[in-house]
Structure 1
Amino acid sequence: MPPFRLLAAPVNDSALDVLVIGAGPAGSAAARHLALAGLRVQMVDAQPIGRDKVCGDGLIPDAHQALARLGLLDAVMARAQRAQAVGCIGPRGGRIDVPGALAVLPRQQLDELMARAALDAGAQFLQARFEEPLLDAQGQVLGARLRQGDQTQELRARWTLLATGAQPKALQAAGLCTRHTPSGVALRGYVRAPALVGQIRALEVVWNQAVRPGYGWIFPAPGGVFNIGVGVTDSHSALHGKGQKKDVNLRAIFDAFVAAYPPAQRLLAEGEWVGELKGAPLRCSLSGAQFSRPGLMVVGEAAGSTYSFTGEGIGKAMQTALLAADAILARHADEAATRAQYEAGLAELVPRYRLYERANRVNAFPWLADLLIWRARKSPRLLRRMSGVLEETSNPGNLVSLKGFARLFLE
């Protein structure tokens, strides 16, 4: 692969159209899309390209759609482990496989592939830490002040995109953080177990009392490796934007998940750890941050792009970034109209996030999963509706509403 194009010194003030802070899926998606359109784009990240990221690594249909739009789906799927279903397992051991176009690719590989694709499109990369935005006298963002070791430098750009993930520090520096604590937390590790290849084929999601109020998962990744983890949404209170962590011990939940789910026991007994268990915060439901200020837009998980209930966020992170990139391309010379277009695009997504918040009650009351699984095994129509939730053509909230429960016994 070609070497990275690094900038050792500040770019001339007039050189940049867009400065992208963060080189994960959101930042790389925006950078590639804008660079392909001919804009001068600079990506900045505190970590080198190809760094690890705590994630379930699942690529569901919305991620496939975003990757296809970026011209990267074939390249990703050539390296990913394909899957044909999400396996939903209830507290009593009942199971239903919900069909869908799915894949798993560790984030270290996905993020490197996407960042390199942005570079191939003409964007540049600088490893540096975001310190704060540069502002004019009216408060408009003109770029960012960055730190490399003991040195600071300033990069100016017509637009700055903040794609810095779930940690709140960058949002706080930009004056856009409205929730300092995360809305969820997750813990995951990788286990190599070649003997289980072909036996765990679906993206398995497990609900039971042991992991309440969260869920556990095992996802088959490439090379005989499995991603195993647990997640809890609504893990922190959010009084006045700060709040405190609730009584959630992720390691205890992980150990309880393994003890309660035989395939997880076998995976850890027969496999070998690849690295260590790592935890990370989640920002969900398009909440916790203002989405823009003059000259700057917030994209990806920094904007809360992860779904409550499922914890899935890769596809929506890219989608929000593409919304911002499209707004820049459509209204490049009109700052206010650009931000208005972006925020209108996010507003269209908000109702769906609210539905996922409603569906999140399954994590708090695992017996709801038992009921859904029991009925779906008897009702092809309900199974299609569950597949529609995965494909984003059905309403997830209706599955666990009073009306939805009534329909369970009529279908």
Structure 2
Amino acid sequence: MNPTTESFPPAASRCDVLVVGAGPAGSACAHLLARAGLSVLLVDQHPPGRDKTCGDGLIPDAHKALARLGLLDAVMRRAQPVAHVGCVGPRGGRIDVPGSLAVLPRRELDALLLQAARDAGARFEQARFEAPLEADGRVVGARLKRGDDIAEVQARWVVLATGAVPKALTAAGMCERHTPSGVALRGYVRAPQMVGRIKALEVVWDKSVRPGYGWIFPAPDGHFNIGVGVTDSHRDLGGGKGRKKDVNLRAIFDAFVANYPPAAELMRVGERIGEGDQWLKGAPLRCTLTGARWTRPGLLVTGEAAGSTYSFTGEGIGKAMETGMLAADAILAHRDDDAAVRAAYEATLTALKPKFDLYERANRVNAHPWLADLLIWRARKSPRLLARMSGVLNETSNPGNLVSLKGLSRLFLE
């Protein structure tokens, strides 16, 4: 038995809320619920401290969510603070967009979020979600598995925060799209000699990485997170099925390194963290609040399982925590009124959906990198446009307007 978990099967087979998935969404949700006095069981198939393929960037929405949880100071004591996002276009043009930013590897961030949820009173079990328990058309708990052991836990509410892999969504009858919205590949490189030379969250658009982008983010202790991402990576074949487009992430990564000199130097002088080719890890992305039903009686879907990642930037940590807390808010506000809980949660996600749609519209930059050149060229000449780009980071500006026909025409007037 893992000493960091409770006994399995659980000593208490009943709770107010069963939260499945101990990533940012699940831990944030469990934290608020437990802090309010509800009995919460938080489960994850992995032990605490598991790794997660991610860019690790904490942009302003993540800072806001961490502040609400009372964890911002603790995270920032361990994170690498960053002052800018460095946007680099295909022709080498660059603009540094200011923002409140940081980098902390997900292994550390998720462990901190989980421990905070446990400190607030949530119990943690290492277990895998197998299927919901149902009675009279309502989810009333779940069947969990660890090793050969099976346990049934009764719960007033089940919250699925199981990330981009659709297995749990499918088992719960909530999956509407089995294929991901996008895919990403990342690795860590230790290169103390590059500290101070790569200082921003560098996001690079180039024909060689089309229809995606590359990144290098400075992490704590002389480490760097380097990777590539491709959104809209699968063709929709209908019925929730899809087929991967002709996208080879490793080839895109190699092209990124070959065509972006700082990436080439980082790989030349740095030490790869991991064994052999396994130092690079891939992961699916679920974006734009699509691909899954959000609720059914007794069950809420949150975080990346609900599609909480922005398609344009691939940023998902802040929105995962935000949607997890929205699920908790709905339960706390209406407790035993099933219809009211579902309506309140769906209303908050519906209110967020237009913002996700705008980031989806802005996603055309990834497919047409010349748009990045145009934005960078104008932003270097226009403080107003730079302020608007900073507003995208802070969620005070409309990202879709930057690359709409109207927005593009305005670039020549600012």
Task: Check whether TM > 0.5.
Answer: yes
Distance, in Å, in 2 between the alignment partners of 1:355 and 1:9 is: 45
Contact 2:190 2:273 in 1 (8 A): yes
Deviation at 1:9, TM superposition (A): 2.7
Equivalent residue number for residue 231 of structure 1: 229
SS at match of 2:243: coil
- Deviations 1:56-86 (CA, angstroms, capped at 9, x unpaired): 0000000000000000000000000000010
Deviation at 1:139, TM superposition (A): 1.9
Distance, in Å, in 2 between the alignment partners of 1:133 and 1:266 is: 50
Equivalent residue number for residue 349 of structure 1: 352
Contact 1:5 1:119 in 2 (8 A): no
Q: Does 1:168 align with 2:166?
A: yes
Distance, in Å, in 1 between the alignment partners of 2:253 and 2:232 is: 17
SS at match of 2:272: strand
SS at match of 1:354: helix
SS at match of 2:185: strand
Alignment of 1:110-129 (within 5 A): 110-129=109-128
Match for residue 150 of structure 1 among 140, 148, 151 = 148
Deviation at 1:273, TM superposition (A): 0.4
Contact 1:96 1:373 in 2 (8 A): yes
SS at match of 1:350: helix
Q: Does 1:294 align with 2:297?
A: yes
Equivalent residue number for residue 212 of structure 1: 210
Deviation at 1:343, TM superposition (A): 0.3
SS at match of 1:247: coil
- Deviations 1:214-273 (CA, angstroms, capped at 9, x unpaired): 000000000000000000000001222101000000000000000000000000000000
Count how many residue pairs are aligned between Structure 1 and Structure 2.
407
Distance, in Å, in 2 between the alignment partners of 1:320 and 1:239 is: 29
Equivalent residue number for residue 287 of structure 2: 284
SS at match of 2:226: strand
Distance, in Å, in 2 between the alignment partners of 1:5 and 1:51 is: 14
Alignment of 1:173-252 (within 5 A): 173-240=171-238, 241-252=240-251
Moved over 6 A (4+): none
Contact 2:5 2:126 in 1 (8 A): no
SS at match of 1:55: coil
Equivalent residue number for residue 402 of structure 1: 405
Distance, in Å, in 2 between the alignment partners of 1:42 and 1:151 is: 17
TM-score (norm 1): 0.98
Contact 1:22 1:163 in 2 (8 A): yes
Deviation at 1:373, TM superposition (A): 0.2
Deviation at 1:151, TM superposition (A): 1.4
Distance, in Å, in 1 between the alignment partners of 2:361 and 2:214 is: 19
Distance, in Å, in 2 between the alignment partners of 1:252 and 1:12 is: 50
Deviation at 1:327, TM superposition (A): 0.4
Contact 1:11 1:156 in 2 (8 A): no
Distance, in Å, in 2 between the alignment partners of 1:192 and 1:259 is: 19
Distance, in Å, in 2 between the alignment partners of 1:227 and 1:366 is: 22
TM-score (norm 2): 0.97
Contact 2:189 2:272 in 1 (8 A): yes
Contact 1:306 1:316 in 2 (8 A): yes
Give % identity: 73
Equivalent residue number for residue 374 of structure 1: 377
- Deviations 1:269-300 (CA, angstroms, capped at 9, x unpaired): 00000120000000000000000110000000
**Structure 2: segments with no counterpart, 5+ residues:** none
Deviation at 1:406, TM superposition (A): 1.0
Equivalent residue number for residue 361 of structure 1: 364
Equivalent residue number for residue 6 of structure 1: 6
**Structure 1: segments with no counterpart, 5+ residues:** none
Deviation at 1:6, TM superposition (A): 1.2
Distance, in Å, in 1 between the alignment partners of 2:307 and 2:32 is: 21
Distance, in Å, in 1 between the alignment partners of 2:167 and 2:127 is: 15
Deviation at 1:4, TM superposition (A): 3.2
